[in-house]
């Protein structure tokens, strides 16, 4: 039956609207599926992109990230080092980080952010320490300023600590016996008047040790005044005044290990204004800490006799002698010793380092 023109036109529009609705429905379904797929992909990405950024790593393995939010950390000192009590410092006055809350009260053992354990006070307690409950986020810090030769039972400390703290430059927390401070402008240095030749202050006298044997050979060629137990008396308050009168000081370490350069050099020699004659790690190791023309190394001479001859010649040549002090126009030796300063270095490190899991697996192999 024929239709009128109006009906044909309407039927044509109906067919067009059906196509349009079908297209819109298909587009909606496709867009929804695409959105859902993209959303699922995004949820697999980390919320904290910084956790995947490259971080610095010390030679013992701890990771260092950008400074954490400033909050006051609590650090438990497990024992007073060697039983020596001291007053904790305000670390914010020494470093550009907030102060820490220090305590020796072990009731904080389950709440402290970190625990510092001094090796010589805990080396026999390895098994007991391993059984102690501890927070997963709590970091145990192995602290030692003695050389490996005087650090017994290192193997018992394996897999127990998270961080190392010692005089070694590759420690997580570097605590040197001393360091050089760059002056803002050159300053003249006055060499104390010299009236004597060679001094040595020693308390731990072991006749069979390498340093005593070297001294016994050296004194055959040049006078050496020895102070300390079993030798000339010397009180600590007179140490600098006494040593400053000598041209040279024997900064002989009790053992020879990497970076083991102690107060014998920093306090006894450099702070007294005399030239150190060093016996310890190789010259190259000393030059990580000092200018090469600031000290005399025994290894530079074939024998103690040759060293003695050089010292005698140098003491008579004022110009050559003074060259050993030229570096002091720009650099100032600063003592790093003092328990309060050392634990503040730990505070400074922890304030600037994000907590992350790390364990020192083989302390005895590393600390040699």
User: Bigger pLDDT: 229 or 306?
Assistant: 306
Strand-strand pairing, 275-279 and 296-297:
parallel
Per-residue pLDDT averaged across 161-172, rounded?
Answer: 96
How confident is the prediction for the chain on average, in pLDDT? 85
Q: Is 330 exposed, middle or buried (0-12, 13-18, 19+ CB in 10 A)?
A: middle
Say if residue 173's pLDDT is above 60. yes
- Is pLDDT at 6 greater than 90 in this prediction? no
Residue 141: CB atoms within 10 Å: 26
Residue that wins the pLDDT comparison between 194 and 11: 194
pLDDT band for position 353 (cuts 50, 70, 90) = confident
pLDDT digits 0-9 by tens, 231-273: 999 999 999 999 999 999 999 999 999 999 999 999 999 999 9
- Between 13-22, 146-155, 241-250, 279-288, the lowest mean confidence (pLDDT) is in 13-22
What is the predicted pLDDT for the residue at 26?
53
The sign of the torsion formed by the CA atoms of 238, 289, 100, 76 equals negative
Query: In the chain, what percentage of residues exceed pLDDT 90?
Result: 74
Chain segment 28-66, per-residue pLDDT in tens: 555 544 444 433 333 333 322 122 122 333 444 444 444
pLDDT digits (tens, 9 = 90+) for 141-160: 999 999 999 999 999 999 99
10 Å CB burial of residue 247 (0-12, 13-18, 19+) is buried
Residues 102-128: pLDDT tens digits? Answer: 999 999 999 999 999 999 999 999 999
Gap between the Cα atoms of 352 and 346, Å rounded? 10
CA 333, distance to chain mean position in Å, is: 18
150 DSSP assignment? G
Mean pLDDT of 208-227: 97
pLDDT at 12: 45
Mean pLDDT of 193-203: 96
Distances in whole angstroms, Cα of residue 268 to Cα of each of 18, 45, 244, 249, 328: 99, 58, 9, 8, 16
Query: Residue 293's pLDDT is what?
Result: 96
Comparing 97-101, 119-123, 336-340, the range with the smallest average pLDDT is 336-340
pLDDT band per the 50, 70, 90 thresholds, residue 334? very high
What is the H or E stretch that residue 353 is in?
none
Active site residues: 146
Tell me: the pLDDT tens digits for 71-85? 689 999 999 999 999
Residue 19: what pLDDT? 52
pLDDT reported for residue 33: 47
Q: Of 10-14, 124-128, 344-348, which gets the smallest average pLDDT?
A: 10-14
> What is the value of pTM for the model shown?
0.79
Confirm if 276 and 295 have CB atoms less than 8 A apart: yes
Q: What domains are there in the chain, each with its CATH number?
A: 56-175+338-366 (no CATH), 180-335 (3.40.50.11660)
């Amino acid at each position: 039956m024929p239709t009128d023109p109006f009906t044909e036109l309407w039927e044509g529009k109906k067919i067009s609207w059906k196509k349009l609705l079908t297209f819109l429905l298909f587009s909606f379904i496709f867009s929804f599926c695409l959105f859902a797929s993209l959303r699922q992909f995004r949820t697999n990405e980390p919320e904290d992109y910084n956790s995947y950024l490259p971080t610095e790593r010390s030679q013992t393995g701890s990771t260092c990230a950008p400074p954490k939010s400033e909050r006051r950390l609590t650090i438990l000192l497990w024992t007073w080092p060697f039983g020596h009590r001291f007053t904790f410092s305000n670390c914010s006055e020494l470093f550009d980080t907030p102060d820490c809350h220090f305590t020796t009260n072990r009731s904080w053992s389950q709440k402290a952010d970190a625990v510092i354990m001094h090796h010589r006070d805990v080396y026999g307690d390895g098994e007991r320490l391993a059984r102690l409950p501890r927070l997963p986020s709590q970091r145990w810090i192995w602290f030692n300023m003695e050389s490996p030769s005087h650090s017994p039972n290192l193997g018992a400390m394996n897999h127990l600590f998270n961080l190392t703290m010692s005089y070694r430059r590759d420690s997580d927390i570097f605590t040197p016996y001393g360091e050089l401070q760059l002056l803002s402008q050159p300053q003249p240095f006055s060499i104390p008047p010299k009236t004597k030749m060679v001094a040595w202050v020693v308390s731990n006298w072991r006749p069979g040790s390498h340093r005593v044997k070297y001294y016994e050979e050296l004194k055959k060629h040049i006078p050496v005044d020895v102070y300390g137990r079993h030798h000339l008396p010397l009180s600590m308050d007179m140490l600098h005044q006494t040593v400053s009168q000598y041209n040279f000081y024997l900064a002989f370490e009790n053992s020879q290990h990497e970076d083991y350069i102690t107060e014998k050099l920093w306090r006894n020699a450099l702070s007294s204004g005399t030239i150190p004659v060093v016996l310890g790690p190789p010259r190259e190791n000393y030059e990580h800490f000092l200018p090469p023309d600031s000290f005399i190394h025994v290894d530079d001479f074939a024998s103690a006799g040759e060293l003695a001859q050089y010292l005698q010649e140098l003491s008579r040549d004022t110009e050559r002698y003074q060259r050993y002090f030229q570096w002091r126009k720009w650099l100032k030796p600063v003592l790093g010793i003092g328990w309060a300063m050392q634990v503040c270095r730990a505070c400074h490190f922890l304030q600037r380092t994000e907590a992350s899991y790390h364990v020192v697996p083989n302390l005895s192999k590393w600390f040699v």
